[in-house]
Each structure stands twice: as C-alpha cells, then as structure tokens.
C-alpha cells in the first residue's frame, strides 16, 4: 500500500507491550512521515507520563473518534523489526489462543527491543566503566548509575531533563554500556573448553633446550610435555584439550603450571558451541542406510501432497540424519530451516552435531541468551532478509520462542520430539503450543513441517491416521541394534519376599553390578526431584505446608531445606511437630536426591551424578554433567525426565525405572500417554550403539496395560487402547478442550463469583461446560484457584465458539464487582 508522505495527516495503529484488547492510534508528525513503515518501533506516550517502544502495525489517514491522537515521539529503527508474515502469525495466535497482540509482542521480541518508562537498567557486567569516550548525556547516565546501581527510564529522563530517553538508552545498550535488570540472570555462559598449545617462543631450538633441562631436573614435567607432544602430533598441530592431557598423563595441575611459567605451554579457553573452536572442521553428511533412505524418499514424496509429515521412528533409528539431508536440500534452494527442540539447554549434543555440518550458517536462539545475543540473532535474520544472496544464517535451531523470529524465506520446519510438553507455554500469556503454531508458521511461509518422535502425541498420530498429516515410519534402530530387553519387577512380591534393599530390587542391583563390572554405564530414572516429598509427624500426622501455596514442602538434603516447588518458599526442617510437639518426624517418599544418596551405599567406589532441575541451576551445570557421562567419568546417572530428552550415550547398557506407578497414577487424562512416552523414551537410552540394552521397570502393578505396551514397544497398541478411552470420556483428539482458570485472593469471593461466571457460561454453552472445580493445587502464590473445562466437538466452528466465549467473559468482567477476578484462558491445555 502506497502513502502520500507529503501530507501530515498520517496516523499509525501501534501494538503496545501491554495486554490491551485493541490497537492504539497515534499521529505521525511531518518530519517522520517518510520513515514510518509497519514493523518499525516508535516511541510513544501512553498514559500521563509513561513512554513505551511500540510496533507500527498499520498506517492510515483515519483520525480516531473516541480520543485525541498523541504524536509519536521518535522512530527507533532504520528498517522493520517485524515483517508482515510475522504479523499474520501473531494475528492467528491472538485469535486461536485468545490473547492480546501486546502479550504476543512481549513474548516474541527480545527484551532489548522492549523499552518503557518503568524498565530498569544497570551497567553491563562486561563494561569497563571507562567514561572518557561517552557523550554528555551518556556520561550523566553512567555517573548516576555509579551512585544508584540501577535506574528506571523515568528516573533517567529526570536526570538528563528529557522526556523521551528510550533512543539514548537503546544506543547505550547497543554499545554494551547498559543492560536491562531482568536480563542479568539470563546471561548464557556456554561451556568452555580449555585447550593447551605451545607458546610462540617454543621453536625447535627452544624445545631442545627445554627437553635437556627437564630430563635432568624435572622428570614429571618432561613426562607431561612428552604426552602433550604425542597428542599434538595426533591432532595435526591443533590445540590439545587440557582435560584429555591431564587424564592421559596422570600429572597434577602443579606440573602443568610449571611448564606455563617456563613459557613452554599456554592455556586458553574457547566456547564449546563456537563455530570457530579449535579443530573445528565442517563435516559432510553421512550416507543413509536402506531404511533411512526409504524414509527420506517417502517424506519428500508425501510433501508433494501434504504440508505436514509425521516421522515416527523408534529411538536410535537415525531420524536426525534424515533431518540433515532434508536441511541440505533447503539450503541448496536458498531457503531457511527452523529446527525446534523442546528445551535448548538439554540438547547440547544435537547443537554440536549440527554445527559440524553448518558452521556459521547455523544460528542458535533461546531465552538463556542475554539481551544483546538474542537481539543479534534477530538482526542477523533481518540481514538475511535484506541480502538473501549472502546465503548465511539459513539454519536456525531453538526452543519454542524461535517461532517468533523474522523468517523471510522459510522452507522447512522440523519439530523434534514433537510430543514433548515443553513446547507448551503455560504462563504467562500467550499460552501457545509451539508444535501447533509451527505448522501455521509453515503454512503462512509456504513451507513444509516435519514432526519427529519415537512416541508421538495422540493428537499427531490421530491426524496422521486421518490423512491430515503424512506418516512415515522407521521401525528399526540404526545398524540393526535390537530394541532393549525390558523386564518388570513386581514390587509387591519383592517386598513380601524381603528382596528389596532401600528402593531397589535385587534384580536391579544385580544387573547394575554386572553392568559396572563390564565397564558399562547405568541410568536410574525417578520423575520426582528432591530428597523426600514430605516430612510427617508419626503421632498426629501433621505435614509442613507452604504458607503461600496449597502444597506440602519437599525436603532437599543439599542446603537442608524444605522447599515449595511452586513459589520457592523455604524453611529449615522443624525439630518437632508444630501441631502436637512430638519429635518423631519422618521423611515420606523419595526423589532423585535420595536415590543418588542411597545408591552410593551399594556402589561406594563408583562415580554417581544427578541430573534434575536442582543439580543444573547454573548455566553450565547441565553441559558438565552430560560431558562427564559421555566421557565415562560418571558410572551411574540418576535423574528426572531431563535424562529422556535428546541424549545419545554409547555405553549405557542398563536403565532402571525406580517407580513406574507414580507416573501412571496421576489424576489427569494424559497420565497414561505421558507415562508411556517417558518410560519408552528413557528405555531408549539403553544399548544405542554397541550392544542390546536392558531395562528394569519396578512397579507395584506390573499388570497395568501401559507397562505391557512399553515392554512390547507397542506404540500402536497403546495408541488404540488410549484412543478408546479418550472417545469414551470426550477428550482430545475427539474433542477440543479449553481450560478457564479463575483466581482471587479471597476464597469466599472466588466461590461466589466463579459460580456466577459458570452459570453465564452454561447459559451459552450448556453441558459443554464442566465445573467449577477445585484443582489438586488449590492455592498458588496466595491466589485461590478454581477451574472450568469447556469441551467442544471437533466439527463445530472454533472461531465462532471462541467469539462467544470472549463475549461472555467481557460481559461478566463489565460488572464492577467482578473486575478483581483474574480469568485466564488456556486453549488446548496439556
């Protein structure tokens, strides 16, 4: 659409980073007329004093009737940050997931792009605080930060005597002077590899002299240097990994330090994920075996008639290699590829593997990067849009937020482990599912989507069987490795026969002993973190609860604390019962921390590690644990579902599932699906390369059909069984669900208003509304909760029904007494 920029009666509708139901219109001063374009950021005033960076959505000449349009204060970008296809995706998310464009903008854009009056800034930790080259206004801000540590943009405006300070702060962020406070905790620190090389002074003559002196005076240093030279020759003059050298030589670090002091060796670091790491060589893709080739050809054929294809391949069948061949085809056509992973922090292996193929052509994007790193990826994507002939940045790998990046020529979206619940955003809005949204993204971009999983979601497999998606199956493991042999231990019988030691059956301990004797590794799976889920008084059965949430406090041995896993509240374990005063307090249940503790008693000479949310708090913990396990420095790895995601270990021969019942007995319609997926996925970690693995499943109910399907590796049997249950009780994929969560700090007020709201909804939707009910966790962070469920037949109009729901909610919230109620809508809840 062309505009006459010579006139000054121009208006823009903008998206503000606020949960506003409508766009807001601003007047464009004449000096900005030639610069405004949809997708650019502009600085605007909203309210009496607050300034925001907003996105232009629409340019027009229609003056608003209900209010006087304020002028835009400035334009921040030389080119649009968001393109029209992105806006189309935002519109779809807004309609389908019933959220505002402002909420989507907040989720989509890196924090560095979202500045407002209340934004707090502080010095970037990397800034050396050299003020000599700062401009006058920048100097004033820096000087104030020296005294106050952090400032809001509103405070900065007072300091420099200018209302609109957003452009200034943007410039200081770009220069690396400032950082947003909210981003400080998100700084991603990639794992560092420590390397050793010869110093520049160490020529042949220098080394001969060093060898002569060391032979006479320092044999240990000579031995270390000889090992270094041996590794160096094997690596063809590439830097030597410090960890490997120290392991081979068996020398203490003091010996290495002496050689560094003598200017013989030099130590340096490189990011593990850096495309330019020492020894980094681009690798050609491997040839596909017959089964992979057949699957690859079938995917391409089905893409001719289907926009989306489900690749159902058993664990270790080689799905990633098929993805690489599909990616290569898109690159040759000058297209972009989006490779989605459920959790980026858990997929170091796949990122490293793809880097070896695509080098600098690969971009990684996720929320653990700091603001400048995320903004840099965003800008590189725009650069590809501006200069498509550069053929850079064509492969983007990321977690769910990567669907919001500014793609301009997307050819393929890969959703790996498509069944994983991490693709669903729970809070805050938009509560989208990245798997489903990526299919819409591909449709908008005229691209294709491939969904991959060994245990597909019921909905995806149903869509494939209904011919909505294509379906390709890989039923054999790569190199014809057999699927693991699975045995089930009846815990009732084991307890009865006194065959249990702690939480481990005799069979599991014996199999572990045998695996460790054979120098193989073991994984133990327990999907509950902490040491014990609760502490209980044996006299009156009092249990400590969180003061903010309706949950028991979990005991964590590390730190000796009782913690709430919802709000973070913690206390020291009580010495006596707060109700009756008795001192007999005992731990109930067990989590990964206790499994780790107890297994060390049986295998005291083995290295044991734990992989869960508590053991991976810092940015590099996960990579260190995984690297240790890959390098066989760890013998036994215990963990939660984190160990099921995207991991490939060569020497794991045994997997133990400590308690299968805790997975299956959860009161949720997806409990059986999640149980099957978790058990099948963790079982797939066993015996992936050299030999057939073994899995021990411990259960008090071994006759449960879900366990039977896992033992037989029978996904289709499980699918048909579960489909029958879903149809009987009106659950997906036969019905669409929308959960309505209602929150209030006053429980009595919540009961009254929620009942009235439910009546309004039932007047509109009838028996399709279930509830309100009190959820299992009825209070979180001092808000009491009630939920309602809307079950809608698949053949009814989704658009029409959501419009009816939105109207009912607006009508209810229009009453003054109902405005304090918080209503959240979750479409397609997990």
pLDDT, tens only, 259-280: 998 899 988 876 544 333 333 4
In a domain, 281, yes or no: no
Q: Does residue 225 or residue 7 have the better pLDDT? A: 225
HSE (CB half, 13 Å, CA atoms) of 311?
31
Range of the domain at 802: 735-827
In the chain, the largest separation of any two C-alpha atoms, in whole Å, equals: 95
Residues 521 and 660 in one domain: yes
pLDDT tens, 775-828?
999 999 999 999 999 999 998 888 888 999 999 999 998 888 888 899 999 999
Residues 310 and 211 in one domain: no
DSSP code string of 361-400:
GEEEE-TTS-HHHHHHHHHHHHHHHH-GGG--S-EEEESG
Residues 81 and 21 in one domain: yes
pLDDT score recorded for residue 365: 87
Q: Which residues of 807-820 are buried (b: 16+ CB within 10 A; e: fewer)?
A: ebbeebeeeeebee
* CATH number for position 637: 3.40.50.300
Residues 525 and 634 in one domain: yes
pLDDT tens, 93-134?
999 999 999 999 999 998 878 777 778 888 988 788 888 889
Q: How many residues does the chain have?
A: 830
Distance between CA atoms of residues 225 and 227, nearest Å = 5
Cβ–Cβ under 8 Å, residues 273 and 373: no
DSSP code string of 530-591:
SSBSEEEETTT----B-SSSSSBPEEETTTTEEE-TTT--EEPPPSS-TTT----EEEES--
Strand, helix or coil at 84?
helix
Say whether pLDDT at 734 is over 90.
yes
Residues 295 and 248 in one domain: no
Number of structural domains the chain divides into: 7
Helix (H) or strand (E) holding 789: strand 783-793
Residues 497 and 627 in one domain: yes
Cβ–Cβ under 8 Å, residues 815 and 601: no
> Which residues, listed in sequence order, are joined to residue 117 by a DSSP beta bridge?
none
Residues 578 and 619 in one domain: no
Distance between CA atoms of residues 592 and 526, nearest Å = 6
pLDDT tens, 315-371?
888 899 999 999 999 999 999 999 999 876 566 678 878 888 888 788 888 766 666
**Which token pair is 129?**
């605080």
CB under 8 Å to 372, separation ≥6 — which residues? 112, 173, 174, 176
Strands 151-152 and 192-198: unpaired
Q: Nearest-CA neighbor of 679 among 422, 313, 315?
A: 315
Residues 431 and 302 in one domain: yes
Average pLDDT over residues 528-552: 93
Share of the chain above pLDDT 70, in %: 92
Distance between CA atoms of residues 564 and 558, nearest Å = 15
Distance between CA atoms of residues 682 and 688, nearest Å = 12
Residues 514 and 545 in one domain: no
pLDDT band per the 50, 70, 90 thresholds, residue 478:
confident
Distance between CA atoms of residues 249 and 502, nearest Å = 40
In a domain, 96, yes or no: no
Say whether pLDDT at 4 is over 70.
no
Backbone angles phi, psi at 149, to 5 degrees: 70, -40
Say whether pLDDT at 3 is over 70.
no
pLDDT tens, 487-502?
999 999 999 999 999 9
Cβ–Cβ under 8 Å, residues 411 and 449: no
Q: Nearest-CA neighbor of 335 among 379, 394, 383?
A: 394
Cβ–Cβ under 8 Å, residues 43 and 114: no
Say whether pLDDT at 257 is over 50.
yes
To the nearest 10°, report the CA torsion of 812, 813, 814, 818.
90
In a domain, 714, yes or no: yes
pTM of the entire structure? Answer: 0.82
- Looking at 543, 569, 589, the residue that finishes a domain is 589
Strands 151-152 and 120-123: antiparallel
Helix (H) or strand (E) holding 140: helix 136-148
Residues 63 and 32 in one domain: yes
> Which residues, listed in sequence order, are joined to residue 241 by a DSSP beta bridge?
195
Strand, helix or coil at 278?
coil
Strand, helix or coil at 229?
helix
pLDDT band per the 50, 70, 90 thresholds, residue 507:
very high
In a domain, 4, yes or no: no
In a domain, 3, yes or no: no
Q: Nearest-CA neighbor of 472 among 713, 293, 338?
A: 293
* CATH number for position 35: 3.40.1440
Say whether pLDDT at 242 is over 90.
no
Distance, CA of 161 to chain centre: 42
- Looking at 549, 569, 589, the residue that finishes a domain is 589
Distance, CA of 453 to chain centre: 17
pLDDT band per the 50, 70, 90 thresholds, residue 309:
very high
In a domain, 228, yes or no: yes
Direct distance between the N- and C-terminal alpha carbons of the chain, in angstroms, rounded to an integer: 42
Strand, helix or coil at 288?
coil
Token pair 């940045």 in the structure block, residue: 393
Distance between CA atoms of residues 322 and 763, nearest Å = 52
Strand, helix or coil at 351?
helix
Cβ–Cβ under 8 Å, residues 347 and 645: yes
Strand, helix or coil at 156?
helix
Backbone angles phi, psi at 508, to 5 degrees: -65, -45
pLDDT score recorded for residue 347: 65
pLDDT band per the 50, 70, 90 thresholds, residue 435:
very high
Share of the chain above pLDDT 90, in %: 56
Q: Nearest-CA neighbor of 667 among 740, 775, 768?
A: 775
pLDDT tens, 614-666?
887 665 677 788 878 888 889 999 998 888 776 678 889 999 999 999 888 88
Residues 640 and 596 in one domain: yes
In a domain, 277, yes or no: no
Helix (H) or strand (E) holding 500: strand 500-501
pLDDT band per the 50, 70, 90 thresholds, residue 613:
confident
- Looking at 184, 205, 220, the residue that finishes a domain is 184
Distance between CA atoms of residues 662 and 227, nearest Å = 51
Residues 408 and 363 in one domain: yes
**Which token pair is 298?**
């079938």
In a domain, 776, yes or no: yes
Distance between CA atoms of residues 503 and 480, nearest Å = 34
Angle at Cα 394 formed by Cα 389 and Cα 395, nearest 5°? 170
Cβ–Cβ under 8 Å, residues 539 and 584: yes
Q: Is 467 exposed, middle or buried (0-12, 13-18, 19+ CB in 10 A)?
A: exposed
Cβ–Cβ under 8 Å, residues 137 and 166: no
Distance between CA atoms of residues 678 and 674, nearest Å = 6
* CATH number for position 777: 3.30.70.600
Cβ–Cβ under 8 Å, residues 186 and 367: yes
């Amino acid at each position: 659409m062309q505009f006459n920029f010579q006139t000054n009666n121009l208006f823009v509708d903008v998206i503000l980073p606020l949960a506003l139901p409508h766009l807001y219109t601003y007047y464009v001063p004449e000096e900005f007329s030639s610069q405004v374009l949809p997708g650019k950021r502009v600085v605007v005033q909203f309210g009496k004093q607050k300034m925001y960076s907003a996105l232009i959505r629409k340019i027009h000449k229609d003056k608003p009737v209900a209010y006087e349009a304020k002028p835009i204060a400035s334009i921040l970008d030389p080119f649009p940050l968001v393109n029209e296809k992105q806006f189309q995706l935002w519109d779809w998310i807004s309609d389908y997931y019933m959220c505002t464009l402002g909420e989507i903008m907040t989720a989509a854009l890196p924090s560095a792009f979202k500045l407002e009056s209340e934004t707090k800034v502080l010095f970037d930790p990397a800034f050396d605080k050299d003020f000599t080259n700062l401009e006058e206004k920048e100097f004033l801000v820096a000087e104030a930060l020296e005294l106050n540590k952090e400032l809001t943009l509103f405070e900065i405006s007072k300091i420099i005597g200018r209302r609109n300070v957003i452009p200034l702060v943007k410039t200081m962020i770009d220069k690396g002077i400032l950082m947003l406070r909210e981003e400080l905790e998100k700084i991603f620190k990639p794992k560092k590899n420590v390397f050793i090389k010869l110093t520049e002074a160490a020529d042949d003559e220098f080394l001969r002299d060093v060898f002569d002196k060391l032979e006479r005076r320092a044999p240990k240093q000579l031995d270390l240097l000889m090992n270094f030279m041996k590794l160096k020759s094997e690596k063809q003059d590439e830097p030597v990994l410090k960890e490997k050298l120290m392991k081979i030589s068996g020398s203490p670090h003091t010996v290495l330090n002496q050689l560094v002091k003598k200017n013989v060796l030099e130590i340096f670091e490189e990011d593990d994920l850096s495309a330019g790491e020492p020894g980094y060589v681009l690798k050609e893709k491997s040839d596909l075996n017959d089964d992979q080739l057949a699957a690859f050809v079938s995917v391409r054929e089905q893409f001719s008639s289907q926009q989306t294809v489900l690749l159902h391949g058993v664990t270790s069948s080689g799905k990633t290699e098929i993805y690489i061949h599909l990616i290569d085809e898109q690159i040759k056509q000058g297209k972009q590829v989006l490779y989605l992973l459920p959790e980026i922090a858990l997929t170091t292996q796949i990122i490293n593997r793809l880097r070896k193929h695509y080098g600098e052509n690969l971009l990684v994007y996720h929320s653990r990067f700091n603001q400048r790193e995320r903004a840099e990826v965003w800008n590189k994507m725009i650069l590809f849009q501006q200069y498509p002939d550069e053929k850079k940045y064509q492969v983007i790998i990321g977690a769910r937020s990567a669907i919001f990046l500014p793609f301009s020529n997307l050819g393929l979206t890969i959703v790996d482990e498509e069944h994983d619940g991490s693709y669903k955003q729970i809070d805050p809005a938009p509560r989208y599912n990245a798997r489903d949204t990526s299919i819409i993204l591909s449709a908008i971009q005229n691209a294709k989507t491939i969904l991959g999983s060994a245990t597909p979601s019921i909905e995806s497999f149903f869509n494939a069987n209904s011919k909505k998606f294509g379906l390709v199956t890989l039923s054999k493991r790569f190199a014809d490795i057999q699927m693991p042999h699975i045995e089930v231990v009846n815990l009732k019988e084991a307890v009865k026969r006194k065959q249990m030691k702690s939480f481990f059956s005799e069979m599991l301990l014996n199999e572990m002993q045998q695996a460790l004797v054979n120098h193989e590794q073991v994984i133990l799976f327990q999907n509950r973190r902490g040491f014990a889920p609760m502490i209980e008084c044996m006299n009156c059965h009092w249990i400590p609860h969180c003061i903010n949430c309706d949950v028991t406090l979990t005991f964590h041995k590390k730190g000796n604390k009782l913690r709430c896993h919802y709000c973070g509240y913690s206390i020291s374990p009580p010495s006596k019962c707060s109700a009756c005063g008795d001192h007999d307090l005992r731990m109930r249940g067990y989590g990964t921390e206790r499994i780790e503790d107890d297994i060390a008693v049986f295998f005291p000479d083995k290295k044991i590690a734990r992989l869960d949310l508590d053991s991976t708090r810092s940015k590099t913990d996960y990579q260190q644990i995984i690297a240790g396990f890959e390098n066989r420095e760890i013998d036994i790895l215990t963990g939660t579902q984190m160990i099921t995601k995207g991991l490939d270990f060569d020497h794991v021969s045994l997997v133990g599932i400590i308690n299968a019942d805790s997975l299956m007995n959860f009161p949720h319609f997806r409990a059986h699906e999640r149980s099957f997926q978790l058990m099948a996925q963790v079982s797939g970690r066993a015996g992936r390369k050299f030999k057939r693995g073994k899995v021990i499943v411990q259960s008090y109910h071994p006759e449960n059909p879900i366990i039977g399907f896992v033992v037989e590796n029978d996904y289709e049997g499980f699918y048909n069984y579960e489909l029958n249950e879903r149809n009987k009780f009106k659950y997906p994929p036969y019905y669409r669900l929308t959960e309505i969560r209602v929150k209030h700090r006053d429980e009595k007020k919540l009961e009254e208003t929620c009942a009235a709201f439910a009546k309004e909804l039932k007047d509109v939707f009838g028996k399709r509304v279930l509830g309100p009910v009190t959820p299992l966790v009825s209070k979180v962070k001092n808000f009491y909760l009630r939920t309602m469920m809307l079950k809608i037949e698949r053949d009814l109009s989704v658009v029409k029904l959501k419009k009816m729901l939105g109207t009912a909610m607006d009508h209810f919230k229009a009453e003054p007494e109902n405005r304090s109620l918080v209503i959240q809508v979750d479409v397609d809840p997990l």
